[in-house]
């Protein structure tokens, strides 16, 4: 099997002095003062999650192995539509050139639910499938999202050249069809080491520069202290590096002024932390953010709690309480992914909104989040308009719909999930 080397390494639970897996059981819940909030079903899920974590920890399986598999994908099927909530306003196809784990190893991963021991499989013929899809959809106002189910520039995709070939496929498509309506949406935690990897003489940055005017490069940067980020995103680029990549993209003419601001982990959304975060983004030329709170299945909450308990045990009760209230158990975005309690989300979203406005940064927002929170706070319904993201040309996940001119109603060319 092919092997890869992590380009960045920031954290490993096995190297934390005195770290021991935390059992999230009845005794812990009671010690946190939460027993009246937590049902028997929720307790069982939390216990299962912490037991799973201990198994992964004991087997050194918190991060994937340094090998990956190579397989071929069926090329005559359309790409999956990116519409988890069934109310997404923008036409988007997913670019998914691998499956299983991701070498970036985000411990809160929404795809693996934190289980990063699944084998990584890279699809060596993926560009054939992509090329056929681009031909079919060249006349539609549509984004191709690279990539919602792995990092676009994870090491297996870089060292195999698949990431480079995907960018080359878009470059070739644009040369064949100068009037194509297709636009590429890249969202990545890559740092300078990742985008400097060369394949057949081309780096990711040199290829991306050839997509100026037809591609968007969004940074993916959550709000959390660096010590927590290092352990939760052990192989991502540093924040300084991610912002440097975005600035290089700006200089090359790509749309690279928006950040996917997630996950938002509630105990850390203090005014000071939010101010520092927004200030850093503004200094790098960011003019739009799409904030979203951490959503996770109950078992994965136990995984994330391991590190909050290690670094900030006094914040563990606040972390759990925001999810475990009985009335919050139906606040689910996708599959069994639970969002925090709505009133807390509204309070923290207002803090982010006010801070962003002071720095001239607009906010775009997921339609599902808007729908859920506007029931409790009317202002959420108009947040994009009030904070200027529509005027800046950004919508939903942070897609730059300004690519399509004044025609931001794409219902006539809506892609189908069937």
Kindly tell me if the per-residue pLDDT of 205 is higher than 90.
yes
The answer to whether position 99 is within a domain reads: yes
Output the domain CATH number for residue 257.
Answer: 3.20.20
pLDDT at 116: 80
Range scoring the smallest mean pLDDT among 56-70, 110-124, 143-157, 185-199: 110-124
Q: Looking at the 3D structure of the chain, how many domains does it have?
A: 1
pLDDT tens digits, 126-148: 999 999 999 999 999 999 999 99
The answer to whether position 172 is within a domain reads: yes
> For the whole model, what pTM was predicted?
0.94
Domain enclosing residue 249, as ranges: 62-294+340-404
The answer to whether position 378 is within a domain reads: yes
- Averaged pLDDT, 83-87: 68
Kindly tell me if the per-residue pLDDT of 411 is higher than 50.
no
CA of residue 178 relative to chain centroid, distance: 31
Contact of 365 with 374, CB cutoff 8 Å: no
Range scoring the smallest mean pLDDT among 3-17, 165-179, 209-223, 398-412: 398-412
CA of residue 396 relative to chain centroid, distance: 13
Find the angle CA(248)-CA(250)-CA(254) to the nearest 5 degrees.
110
The answer to whether position 306 is within a domain reads: no
Kindly tell me if the per-residue pLDDT of 95 is higher than 80.
yes
pLDDT tens digits, 308-356: 999 999 999 999 999 988 778 888 886 678 899 999 999 999 999 999 9
Token pair belonging to 131: 């090329």
The answer to whether position 28 is within a domain reads: no
Q: Going by DSSP bridges, is the β-strand pair 182-188/142-146 parallel, antiparallel, or unpaired?
A: parallel
pLDDT at 413: 36
The answer to whether position 86 is within a domain reads: yes
DSSP string spanning 289-347? EEEEE--B-HHHHHHHHHHHHHH-GGGHHHHHHHHH-GGGTT-BSSTTPBPPPHHHHHH
Instruction: Give the C-alpha separation, 269 to 304, whole Å.
Output: 16
**Average pLDDT score over the chain:** 92
The answer to whether position 368 is within a domain reads: yes
The answer to whether position 312 is within a domain reads: no
pLDDT at 245: 98
């Amino acid at each position: 099997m092919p092997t890869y080397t992590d380009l960045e390494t920031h954290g490993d639970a096995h190297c934390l002095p005195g770290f021991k897996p935390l059992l999230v059981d009845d005794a812990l819940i009671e010690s946190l003062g939460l027993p009246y909030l937590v049902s028997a079903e929720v307790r069982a899920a939390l216990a299962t999650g912490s037991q799973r974590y201990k198994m992964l920890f004991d087997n050194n399986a918190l991060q994937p192995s340094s090998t990956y598999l190579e397989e071929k994908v069926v090329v005559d099927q359309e790409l999956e539509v990116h519409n988890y909530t069934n109310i997404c306003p923008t036409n988007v196809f997913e670019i998914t050139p691998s499956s299983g784990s991701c070498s970036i190893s985000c411990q809160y991963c929404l795809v693996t639910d934190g289980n990063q021991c699944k084998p990584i499989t890279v699809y060596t013929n993926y560009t054939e499938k992509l090329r056929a899809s681009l031909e079919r959809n060249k006349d539609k106002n549509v984004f191709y999202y690279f990539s919602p189910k792995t990092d676009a520039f994870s090491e297996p995709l870089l060292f195999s050249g698949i990431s480079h070939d995907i960018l080359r496929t878009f470059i070739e498509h644009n040369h064949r069809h100068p009037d194509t309506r297709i636009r590429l949406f890249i969202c990545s935690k890559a740092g300078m080491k990742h985008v400097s990897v060369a394949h057949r003489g081309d780096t990711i940055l040199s290829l991306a520069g050839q997509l100026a005017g037809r591609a968007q490069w969004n940074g993916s940067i959550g709000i959390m202290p660096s010590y927590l980020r290092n352990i939760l995103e052990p192989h991502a680029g540093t924040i300084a590096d991610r912002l440097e990549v975005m600035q290089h993209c700006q200089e090359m003419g790509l749309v690279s002024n928006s950040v996917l601001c997630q996950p938002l982990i509630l105990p850390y959304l203090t005014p000071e932390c939010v101010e520092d975060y927004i200030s850093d983004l503004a200094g790098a030329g960011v003019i739009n953010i799409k904030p979203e709170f951490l959503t996770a299945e109950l078992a994965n909450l136990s995984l994330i709690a391991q590190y909050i308990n290690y670094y900030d045990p006094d914040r563990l009760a606040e972390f759990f309480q925001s999810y475990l209230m009985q009335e919050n158990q139906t606040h689910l975005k996708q599959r069994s992914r639970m969002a925090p309690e709505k009133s807390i989300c509204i309070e923290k979203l207002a803090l982010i909104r006010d801070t962003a406005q002071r720095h001239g940064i607009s906010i775009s927002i997921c339609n599902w989040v808007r729908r859920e929170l506007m029931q409790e706070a009317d202002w959420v319904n108009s947040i994009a308009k009030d904070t200027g993201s529509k005027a800046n040309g950004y919508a939903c996940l942070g897609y730059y719909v300004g690519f399509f001119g004044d025609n931001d109603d794409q219902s006539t060319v809506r892609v189908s999930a069937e």
